[in-house]
Copies of this chain bind each other. A is one copy, B any other.
Amino acid sequence: MLSNSCRYGIRAIIYLASLPQTKGKTGIKQIAKDLELPTPFLAKILQQLAKQKILNSTKGPHGGFSLLKDSKNITLLDIVKTIDGEEIFTNCIIHNETCSSVDRSKKSCPVHDDFSRVRTDLIKLFRNKTIYDLVRTAKSEEIFI
């Protein structure tokens, strides 16, 4: 459903958000090591998130990544849109193109109505779930990312 890139991105942001406030930048190597993800691949992803002003990145000694926005203002939807785009929210489940909810000139498909209900729930979930929420849940349930 989500690409690896997107999942890695989400996990990295949860990771950064769960570090103590006092911690400044964190290097890519450290992040990749702790999350057991491929370093250069993760770097690419974090660069995309930095371009979208979700992350802050600084080069040079003591450089690294940190959250640019407050974790209460970063939703799963922000990350998914940045990395995977909006296709998963618009594409039909059985056709390649988008269904008529988006483009009214096209005839609908027979699964359309039922599926769009489920999809709407999914979008709501992504839109309402902030990184702050996730970190809180993770901490209260002693879950590691």
- In the assembled complex, which residues on chain B have CB atoms less than 8 Å from the CB atom of A118? 118, 121-122, 125
Give the number of copies in the complex.
Answer: 2
On whether the beta carbons of A143 and B11 are closer than 8 Å, the reply is: no
- Specify the chain B residue showing the minimal Cβ separation from A120: B118
CA distance A76 to B76 in the complex (A): 29
Q: Provided the pairs A11-B94, A93-B2, A93-B7 are in contact, do residues A137 and B110 lie with their beta carbons within 8 angstroms? A: yes
Interface check A68, CB cutoff 8 A = no
Interface check A10, CB cutoff 8 A = yes
What are some 9 contacts across the A-B interface (CB < 8 A)? A2-B94, A11-B95, A76-B111, A107-B143, A108-B141, A110-B135, A115-B125, A117-B121, A118-B125
- In the assembled complex, which residues on chain B have CB atoms less than 8 Å from the CB atom of A4? 96
- In the assembled complex, which residues on chain B have CB atoms less than 8 Å from the CB atom of A19? none
Shortest beta-carbon distance, A122 to chain B, in Å? Answer: 5
